[in-house]
Amino acid sequence: MTSQTHAIKKRDLLSSHAFYVCLLVALAAVMSFSIWMHQSLRLDEAQSIWQTSRSLGGVLDVVAKDVHVPLYFVGLHYWETLFGTGEVALRLFSLIFFLLSIPAIFYLSKEAYSPRVAYIAALITAVSPFLNWYGSEARMYSMMFLFTVLSHLFFIRLWKRPSSGAWAGYAAVTVLGIFTHLFFLFIVVVQAFFFAARRDLFPADAMKRLLRVAIFAGAACLAWFIYRYFAGAGLTNPLLTRPSTVDLFNVFSNFFIGFQTDRVNTFYLSLWPLLVFVGFTFLARKRPREPQTAYLMAASFVPVALAFVVSATFQPIFLSRYLIICLPSLYILAVYFLASYRGFVSDLALSALVACMLSMLVIQAIQPVSPVKEDFRDAARYVASSATPRDLFVVSAPFITYPVEYYYDGSARLATFPRWDRFAKGAVPQPFSEESLQKAASDWEKVYGRMYLLLGYDQGYEEKVRLYMDQHYQRLDMRKFSQGLSLYVYKLRYP
């Protein structure tokens, strides 16, 4: 074969790769605009708007008081100045990162294994119910996913194809990833331990280079935490419960089938003994010798284990969206594992994986009782069309006032319970107590005729509020707008 013929074939191959990836990107974009982009804003998205709709200094200050880091919010702040704060405009910022992740994971899979693995890994990324959900949400998770993919790509190249470009890319992505979400540090920890265990894979000067990256990233983090300390950190932390083993398995269920009803989720969780058996069979038949396999296995499971241990023993931080950092390696390993079988068995297994994820994507899109859908839009519009200036609209927990305010334009006064003056310096919601509820209800009935009570995001007192109102006032109506979001209408006093 002449060099010219080889160059032509290589160019044709690259063109076919590019065409395939562009097709998947277009597919994901069409699905997002057709299904996800026009849904009601959810709590976290509305908080993003509240945090970014101010000056740059104000953005940094309010993020410092929260539990996150500033990169996504600064980016969204400037995005809003160009495109506004409409539902589609806000979500498009996140969608871009999700769409960029599809070619990124293709080239990561190709770098780690083969074009065949890359084709399927990119496909399940494009149709992933989990990624499609967060790829169309105005939060930092799609950005976090993209930086994780790029971090794996550059890190693997540090030993497979070391170059100054690989080192520069790895350093930049490390800092960007940490400033997107602190859970990215789990990936850095995995990489540090892998480097220590397989020092022989890396170039002779790798230790010095990694120390420079660590010093630079550490100095940047220290500067942020000093700023955060003086700003007054942790004023709006929500209530999270300690995870159980069910939550542990639910994380992996979410990764592959997205957010389904309890019945569907329970069915898939019941299959875990079969999956464990098949996994052990694979390991017994073919022990993985490639260093990238060991690395990707660690990246898939170590962050989950660490987050679970921290949540069970110290502070609850165990949420599947935080662990999106495990998804790139987990998808690639799943495809590599199934592709390792021979002939028809491999094709059948990979087809089943794609069909399962695609069907779950469709079900997640069409089912009206998805556990993660939050229909604040219809709730706010219903109150706006029904309530009068003589009525009161109360939301509880207090922080769901963010998405309600985005949609609500009614004449009834909007209040929170427990009371929360968000604009006072260092303000936090008042603690719940039976006495505060009795006093608030007594004050309400002196002024207002009816109360529209929207309950969502239970912080431990939701049922107590509902029971008290049911026992002391006449309930006129009750409507459920989405899972965990219900509206109650009460008669407070008679003319």
> Whole-angstrom Cα distance, residue 420 to residue 429?
4
What pLDDT, on a 0 to 100 scale, did the predictor assign at position 67? 80
Give how far Cα 291 sits from Cα of 163, 190, 384, Å: 19, 13, 60
**495 pLDDT tier (thresholds 50, 70, 90):** low
Flag the least confident range among 203-212, 312-321, 347-356: 312-321
User: What average pLDDT is seen over the chain?
Assistant: 88
At 178-195, the pLDDT tens digits run 999 999 999 999 999 999
Q: pLDDT class for 458, splitting at 50, 70, 90?
A: confident
**Order of all β-strands in the sheet with 413-416:** 413-416, 392-396, 450-456, 485-491, 474-482
Give this prediction's pTM.
Answer: 0.91
Give the position of tokens 């399927």.
120
Virtual torsion, Cα 50, 55, 57, 60, nearest 10 deg? 30
User: Across residues 339-365, what is the average pLDDT?
Assistant: 89
Calculate what percentage of the chain has a pLDDT beyond 70.
89
Bridge partners (DSSP) listed for residue 480: 486
Closest residue by Cα to residue 28 from 73, 94, 87: 94
Query: DSSP H helical segments within 286-387, as ranges?
Result: 291-313, 327-339, 343-366, 376-386
**Which residues 6+ apart lie within 8 Å of 78 measured at CB?**
none
pLDDT bracket for residue 5 (50, 70, 90): low
Question: Do the Cβ atoms of 183 and 307 come closer than 8 Å?
Answer: yes
Handedness of CA 95, 101, 106, 109 (dihedral sign): negative
CB atoms < 10 A from the CB of 426, how many?
A: 7
Where are the chain's structural domains? 3-366, 376-491
Tell me how far apart the alpha carbons of residues 201 and 293 are, in angstroms, rounded to a whole number: 14
Q: DSSP string of 102-131?
A: HHHHHHHHHHHS-HHHHHHHHHHHHH-HHH
Sequential DSSP letters for 261-275? -HHHHHHHHTTHHHH
Q: Is the model's pLDDT at 249 over the cut of 90?
A: no
